[in-house]
Amino acid sequence: MSQQADLRAEREQKITELRATGRNPYPATTNQTHTIKKFVTYFGDLQTKAVLVTLVGRVVAKREHGALAFLDISDGTGKVQSFCSRDEMGEALFDSLLHLVSTGDFVELTGTAFITKREMEALKVTGWRVIGKATQNIPTEHFGIKDEDERLRKRYLDILTNQEARELFDLKANFWKASRRFLEDKGFAEVHTPTLETTTGGAEANPFVTHHDDFDLDVFLRISVGELWQKRLIAAGLPRTFEVGRVYRNEGSSPDHLQEFTNIEFYASYLNFDDGLALLEEHIIHVLDEAFAGKRVFTIKGFEVDFSNQFERIDYVDTILAATGVNVVTATDEAIEAKVTELGIEHEGDNRERLTDTLWKYCRKQISGPVWLTGHPKLVSPLAKESEQADGTVLRAQLIMAGAEFNNCFAELNDPQEQRERFEVQAKLLAAGDNEAMMPDWEFVEMLEFGMPPTFGAATLGERFFAYLVDKPIRETQYFPLMRPKTNASAEAND
């Protein structure tokens, strides 16, 4: 039998002994009087008044010194030491605690605030109870889990034993909180839109397909956070909306991309394009102030990205022209394809939209940012309003930093006839086999015929943006990234 199996058998024996003495190792209730944070905060007053306190938490360390023992417990709000003495507790209670309580167990400890000889704040234990027995050994905080696959698969142990991981997810929670608070303070109403759709809209990506048994039809998991739905709400008279939601794209995984992630999208009626970009900059700075304690300079993938100043703007067409000599608005399809071939750029699809996007991605990799990319060709922006210059570009912007693009935003197209024509172009691309082309939503066009006000919309500070700020692969910033199931053989090998 392996050492791990021996330990498990020993703990299961302790469960048997607890039950034999009438003690339930998994009770439904506790007698907690204080969180550990509250106990530590009011320690002096609790000690002075000799208040009897009951704390609960997981045993993260256990040390025995003859007639004394020390248990460190953590309840998620903090960690505290407990002082156990045979003289104070009595021999039977003390010895049973040492025998039946293991690291990893959840316990309930009753006692009073106490200063140890080493002047540590502690709980002097007078009573104890197991409230959740662990049958497997917890990795130590010092060593943790070293195997990456195992660490992500057992994220509950990673967060438990890895302070850096815990701090990362606390930071991420503050990131979302700050993002929400900013939008709410700016008059945006949080909404929730469908994740199952009969047509995917709002982005160009390959969707997941599933079947709706009740309606007996195939549906898609959404690829954007309700863009076309939120625009319907704008048409319905809601002045400003936003949604924080899950997005699904059936495409490849990389340090920057996963098939499932969280994004924020917002829409504001009567907000001009330039004012919308100013709002987005304000949004970013607010989040940096609230979640990152005002930090402005970030090292991301070898780039230094400085948010201290107002973001500059660069032009999509001019940037590609300067780097490749090709004007992607006026050049022929053959010229664009020849340049992609000449540069040896790997790409999928050979239509003009895909080739144009491929050239841009080639150029963006050298841009540190943060800068706004503007002046996108109409072909690659089927939902954006054409610019006043009528030069084949649209009122669209993306934030570029560390060679990648974020915060996709538009002056939203609200001309139903032009939207219909743009969708017809996308329909032809789909018919020709382009899986990333946008699915037309003809009911959305019908909505536009009833009228939608001038609107600024943005896919803003999402999960990928956070991953870049902390300079980690996006799967590291998710609690539970999708993992391949273990085979029976590999599962048995780890038992």
pLDDT above 70 for 493: no
- Is position 319 within any domain? yes
- Is position 155 within any domain? no
pLDDT at position 494: 52
Domain termination site, one of 115, 132, 149: 132
Tens of pLDDT, residues 319-340: 999 999 999 888 998 999 899 8
Q: Are residues 81 and 193 in the same domain?
A: no
Q: Are residues 364 and 455 in the same domain?
A: yes
Where does residue 109 rank: exposed (0-12), middle (13-18), buried (19+ CB within 10 A)?
buried
- Is position 336 within any domain? yes
349 confidence band (pLDDT: 50, 70, 90)? low
Over the chain, what is the mean pLDDT? Answer: 92
pLDDT above 90 for 489: no
348 confidence band (pLDDT: 50, 70, 90)? low
Q: Kindly report the pTM of this predicted structure.
A: 0.88
- Is position 231 within any domain? yes
Percent over 70 (pLDDT), the chain:
97
Average of pLDDT values for 410-422? 94
Q: How many domains does the chain have?
A: 2
- Is position 262 within any domain? yes
**Domain CATH number, residue 77:** 2.40.50.140
Q: Are residues 118 and 169 in the same domain?
A: no
Backbone angles phi, psi at 32, to 5 degrees: -55, 130
Task: Mention every residue, 6+ apart, whose C-beta is less than 8 A from residue 454.
Answer: 269, 270, 271, 272, 411, 412, 414
Q: Are residues 295 and 435 in the same domain?
A: yes
**Domain CATH number, residue 321:** 3.30.930.10
Q: Are residues 276 and 318 in the same domain?
A: yes
Average of pLDDT values for 90-115? 96
Q: Are residues 179 and 249 in the same domain?
A: yes
- Is position 258 within any domain? yes
pLDDT above 90 for 142: no
Q: Are residues 240 and 363 in the same domain?
A: yes
Average of pLDDT values for 80-103? 95
Question: What does the alpha-carbon distance between residue 383 and residue 201 come to, in Å, rounded to a whole number?
Answer: 10
Q: Are residues 118 and 166 in the same domain?
A: no
DSSP state of 365: T
The dihedral through the CA atoms of 16, 17, 19, 20 has a sign that is positive
- Is position 147 within any domain? no
- Is position 410 within any domain? yes
pLDDT above 80 for 143: no
| Structural tokens at position 247 | 């997005």
Average of pLDDT values for 181-205? 92
Tens of pLDDT, residues 438-474: 889 999 999 999 999 999 999 989 999 999 999 999 9
Tens of pLDDT, residues 235-252: 999 999 999 999 999 988
pLDDT at position 391: 84
Higher-pLDDT residue of 52 and 200 is 52
Q: Are residues 125 and 184 in the same domain?
A: no
**Domain membership of residue 121 as a residue range:** 3-132
3 confidence band (pLDDT: 50, 70, 90)? confident
Q: Are residues 199 and 128 in the same domain?
A: no
Q: Are residues 86 and 171 in the same domain?
A: no
Q: Are residues 65 and 169 in the same domain?
A: no
Using DSSP, state whether 410 is helix, strand or coil: strand
pLDDT at position 67: 95
